[in-house]
Structure 1
Amino acid sequence: MNIDEQVALLMQGTEYGDEALKQAMAAELRERLIEAQQEGRPLRVYCGYDPRKADLHLGHTVTMRKLRQFQDLGHEVTFLIGNFTSLIGDPSDKDKLRPRLTPEEIEENARTYAEQAFRILDPTKTKIRYNAEWLSKLCLADMIPLAANFTLQQFLTRENFRLRWERGDPIYLHETFYAIMQGYDAYMLKADVQVGGTDQLFNIVTAARKIMTFLGAKPNIAIIMGILPGTDGVVKMSKSLGNHIPINTTAEDMYGKVMSIPDFVMPTYAKLVTRWLPDEVAAFEKALADGTLHPRDAKMKLAFEITANFYGEEAAQRAQEAFVRLFQKRDLPEEIPEFHAEAGQSVLDVLVNAQLVKSKSEGRRLIEQKGVRLDGQVLTEPNAPIPHPGVLQVGKRQFLKVVF
């Protein structure tokens, strides 16, 4: 790829909330790519991950997909595990204090992170670092001049801090350390580029660039990725909300869950979690918009691509064939009513509240007779939570699209 093609690919799916800032970052990226080419070196690129959970879903992989694009272009990628910043917890996307993890919890979660990440990243081209390596050595004499680069107003005007302030909820002093420490990470890694989500805008664009400049380094370039909506198409993907697509699952499950997303979020998924180049994404969007690609066929193409990312093309093909056997050849009705279930709501409650059965006893009897299926899989536990969004079939003729 030439420089302009690289910039187009690397800026694909980015969101800054400000077009001028986006153009400025694109211009800096172009300049840095030219400089690196002239110097005969790769760009140093990193993204930090706080291992607060051991299992990852598709939303966590958006930044990893971007790191892989940098790898494929020959750049140097560091997968930074925030085993020290996890002791605080990033407050950026929370409107309440994060619970503090113990070092033992962090170590256990971190153990599986790289293994899951290597389903996207090239392990032979990935450096793994832990930020306790340098952050644990900082003392007050180091922190005072770093902290002097920021005002309390800068933190208190951030939306999540502001909401807590207005509610009278406590904001703890140690939470303000997080952005400073993340900026120091970028400095210690001599980063040219830092990748993060939109919740990291302050930490990367303001804190990291300011800290690096203060310490005499060239500020890194912020590649800020959009947030992947969950299977409901609206809210950020989250396991706690039940709208997530796990990556440690089966090809059939992943394919089916992608097929359950609303049509209108397909372009977002195409930009954020596929291997498609900008011209392929543009062609996909155009075909959807002008009607030359049926939404069902578009979603199948998308589901195949995403599943193949993690399980390979043969497994994706088998998953697609299984989906066709279970759904398309069952002559599902063209229009299926939707039911908005609450996360954790039981199978039996959904049947009753959606008026698919007249009573709980009737619902239990149907489940015992294996007459209730979700995406073709028989549901056997009436009081178990509805496992995921999808098409609920009761008997032979009743269908309901369950969304969260």
Structure 2
Amino acid sequence: MESKLARGVPLRVKFGVDPTAVSVTWGWSVPLRRLRRFQELGHTAVLVIGDFTAQVGDPSGKSATRRRLSADEVETYVAACTDALLRILDPERLEIRRNSEWLGAMQMPDVLELAASVTVAQLLERADFHKRFVEHRPISLIEFLYPLLQGHDSVAVEADVELGGIDQQFNFVLARSLQQRAGQDPQSCVCAPLLVGTDGARKMSQSYGNYIGVSEPPQEIFGKAMSIPDSAMPDYVRLALDLPTAEKNRLLEEFGGVKLKRTLARSMVEMFHGPEAAQQAEQEFDRRFVHRQAPEDIPESSTTEAYLPKILVELGWATSQNDARRSIKGNGVRIDGTTVTDEQQTLQPGTFVLQLGKRRFHRITVK
């Protein structure tokens, strides 16, 4: 890498992503935004879409074997993620590769040769594998293969640098060994801290439901940012925002509580939707959660049903009448801003604004 820099040759900076869900989360955006900065410095971003490895399942940080995805599921996720990835990266200095190009073409001798490059003892040094091993929990052979497959991606694209989360450190170091075996210079590894989810407890993940998606509507981004616990604010200011370090430190020193959250929420919306959308999202948030008013634009429908639990099922807000009654019992349902307390509530003919939780609204006309 040093010789390339000395000669003014652009580096090949790799970021690999397994498309296992429909959104690109803010957690992914941390290394992706760093990749964009490499592009701005004149280097080439190599985005490896793990359409093959997504069908294997990344065991990093997992306490159990992850469900394998079908090829059709993966293709659905690839299509959903691509637009969001291009919101962050510059297409002019971007090389997009699918690892099925080389992994899907491997024959059994190739797989055996790859497997011969590492020992079981080496793999068991990885924290999650070691923990599962000593606790006598299953580890499949295919999970042992995953770090090798990901490492082989770096060989295939001749990566000079690889970016990702700290949970990928073992895989990145293994890739260096595979590159050396292939006669390449080993890549440099840049690992970012993991962004905690909106619950403030676990890492951001779509499987946990604690994520913010970069392609989500401005109001959704703003609302989710406002729900982040105070304890997670320092992490979000440092990792989720594209601001100079001095400005981030100033925010943390001078702001606090709701003022800091509002600044964070506005800044996050501005990153992908612009300042006007951020202002509108904040106004909509105040309308709904400060002034307790319904949004201006909400879906409408009519029904001949008067029994509220049945109406909630019709709207898709409950899976059954028992489920609907549980929502009512938990004070999660409002009619025209007033919390419903009667699980057997019926509605007279007329038009009402129904609300479930903080974000679901519907204007219903009972005939």
Scaled to the shorter chain, the TM-score interval is: 0.7 to 0.9
C-alpha separation between the residues in 2 aligned to 1:366 and 1:227? 47
Which residue in the other structure is 1:246 paired with?
213
Q: Secondary structure at the match of 2:163?
A: strand
Match of 2:265 in 1: 303
Q: Distance in 2 between matches of 1:253 and 1:297?
A: 18
Alignment-mate amino acid for residue 255 of structure 1 = F
Counterpart code for 1:230: G
| Equivalent residues of 2:30, 2:239 under 8 A apart | yes
Q: Secondary structure at the match of 1:83?
A: coil
Q: What amino acid is aligned across from residue 270 of structure 1 in structure 2?
A: V
Residue 97 of structure 1: CA displacement? 1.9
Q: What residue is the counterpart of 1:179 in the other structure?
A: 147
Q: Is the 8 A contact 1:192 1:220 kept in 2?
A: yes
Q: What is the distance in 2 between the residues matched to 1:131 and 1:325?
A: 47
Which residue among 226, 231, 252 is the counterpart of 1:259? 226
- Is the counterpart of residue 322 in structure 1 residue 284 in structure 2? yes
Paired with 1:278 and 1:36, the residues of 2 have a C-alpha distance of 29
Note the residue ranges of structure 1 that are not aligned, 5 or more in a row.
1-31, 331-343, 382-404
Task: Name the SS for the 2:118 alignment partner.
Answer: coil
Per-residue displacement from partner, 1:67-119 (whole Å, max 9, x unpaired)?
12222222210111112222311111322222222223222322222212112
Which of the residues 223, 230, 249 maps onto 2:190? 223
The CA deviation at 1:363 is 5.0
CA distance in 1, matches of 2:184, 2:363: 60
In structure 2, how many angstroms separate the alpha carbons of the residues matched to 1:89 and 1:112? 19
Q: Is the 8 A contact 2:353 2:362 kept in 1?
A: yes
Q: Which aligned pairs between 1:1-400 and structure 2 lie closer than 5 A?
A: 32=1, 35-205=3-173, 207-285=174-252, 287=253, 292-328=254-290, 349=326, 352-353=329-330, 362-363=342-343, 365=345, 370=353, 374-375=357-358, 378=361
What amino acid is aligned across from residue 226 of structure 1 in structure 2? P
Per-residue CA deviations over 1:315-356 (Å, capped at 9, x if unaligned) read 1111122223444556xxxxxxxxxxxxx9967546635799
Question: Residues 329 and 341 of structure 2 are in contact (CA less than 8 Å); yes or no, is this contact kept in structure 1?
Answer: no
Q: Identity percentage over the alignment?
A: 34
Point out where structure 2 has 5 or more consecutive residues left out of the alignment: 293-318
Structure 1 residues 366 and 120, CA gap change in structure 2 (3 angstroms): farther
Deviation string 1:43-87 (CA, Å, 9 cap, x unpaired) is 211111111223333223222222122222222101111122223
Greater Rg over alpha carbons, structure: 2
Q: Distance in 1 between matches of 2:28 and 2:55?
A: 20
Instruction: Give the stretch that moved more between structures: 55-64 or 82-91.
Output: 55-64
- Residue 396 (structure 1) aligns with: none
Alpha carbons of structure 1 residues 72 and 281: separation in structure 2 relative to 1, 3 Å: farther
Contact in 2 for aligned 1:232/1:243 (Cα 8 Å): yes
Change (3 A) 1:35 1:283: farther
Cα pair distance change 1:355/1:138, threshold 3 Å: closer
Contact 2:123 2:129 in 1 (8 A): yes
- Name whichever of 319-328 and 77-86 sits farther off: 319-328
Distance 1:152 1:380 in 2: 60
Q: In structure 1, what is the Cα distance between the partners aligned to 2:114 and 2:240? A: 36
For residues 241 and 348 of structure 1, the distance between their equivalents in structure 2, rounded to whole angstroms, comes to 25
TM-score (norm 2): 0.79
* Structure of greater relative contact order (alpha carbons < 8 Å, 6+ residues apart): 1
CA RMSD of the aligned region, Å? Answer: 3.2
Matched-pair contact (CA < 8 Å) for 2:197–2:205: yes
Query: In structure 1, what residue type is equivalent to 2:194?
Result: I
TM-score normalized by the length of structure 1: 0.72
CA apart distance, 1:145: 4.2
Q: Retained in 1: the 8 A contact 2:333–2:355? A: no
Displacement, 1:228? Answer: 1.5
Corresponding residue SS for 2:342:
helix
